[in-house]
Structure 1
Amino acid sequence: MLRELQNFLGELYAISPPADVRDYLVTDRRLLAALEGQPARETPEKLLLRESDGTLEVSLYLDAELLERLEGSDPFARLGPENLADFCLAVEGISHFNYVVWNAAADRRFTQLELEMQAEVDKYVGARVLVNQPSQAVPDTALYELLFAQPRFADSLSAEELARYEQACRYASWYCRSLEQRYATGMPAPEMMQELRRFFRLPQPAKISHIHSAAYV
């Protein structure tokens, strides 16, 4: 499932992630706490980054029960209300992983805001592709509202983390709304895929500038 999701996102953006996410996966909360050096915050998904002597160390924590639920309710077979939230959590983690290793391989710097913003876009785009399969159970016209109308954030976030998540969600919502205004509903057309791939490759300042421009077209 994880490799399938990683390849799915890679194909959307025409990238080949230079590392297999399964080799960096952590599912044991005790190991997560040990890696963090402190009791782990209650979360089903977390990317751990540590730079040492010029080397970036990466681990992706995904809750074991989350993965079990996805194995039992495959979003590639049917994406619906019963598995949309779990799909989005898994996509968020893999989006983070892909973005980090792809940028690191190109020796490109990135910010935490950029990372979160791209993940929010990836949830929308990934879900939009899947709900337009024959087995779709969520109309794509409802997708934007489901993902962005009432965002919820963990109570355990610090004030700084909460501000960053809110900002990332706000920018992503503007961008995804502009996609709906500029491109027809349904399976993303080649023009929309070209737009998404160009956006993915922009650094944070250019991403934000592009969002402001696209939001007011």
Structure 2
Amino acid sequence: MPTLAEVRARKQTLPTREKRVCLDLAAISEVEALENEKRNLLVEASEREERGRARKASEGENPRLAEIEAEMEALFERMRESEGSITLRAVTGGEWHRFKEANPARGEDDPNHKLDDKVAWGVCNASVLLEELPRFVAAWDGEELQPGDWVTIADQLAPADLRDIVTTVVTMHENLNGAIVPPKSRSGSAKTEGSATN
């Protein structure tokens, strides 16, 4: 157990989380279009079989399905080349509390109430937190961000990724999965706050 002097001398550390994202939105869109085309082809084939007009065995599988798989693999490679890791860093407990107090989740009479519930777990205003993300985004692939870098990155992210980042920031501060509690002895097992017994 550290003494008060040791606590005073400690360098403050804050929780961090990593979020993998892809910046090639065009490739993502192309993959989605190909997935829809593939799904439609499979549905058509299934409907033909149900109507008793199944292709003869000699016809084999629709050649377009193999083409789609090849095109998707090339797009996945393109997506991997434009992937990176965003490091999110928490603020102090006091700073987070002040942020929540200043930006509470919107009430049920507000049309964006469901957004706050879904994206920010009802903890705060998700739209304000989205605008404040530069406070929490620390690095790209391990390289510390400079002023203005986050705007450049955010402009290349899918809206779903931005929503996920907002959710991750809330979870990082709120310990929604339960705080990690070390075992009392080396033979014990780690428990979360929610699973600890009294």
- TM-score norm. by structure 2 comes to 0.25
- Normalized per residue, which structure has more helix? 1
Question: Which protein has the larger Cα radius of gyration, Structure 1 or Structure 2?
Answer: 2
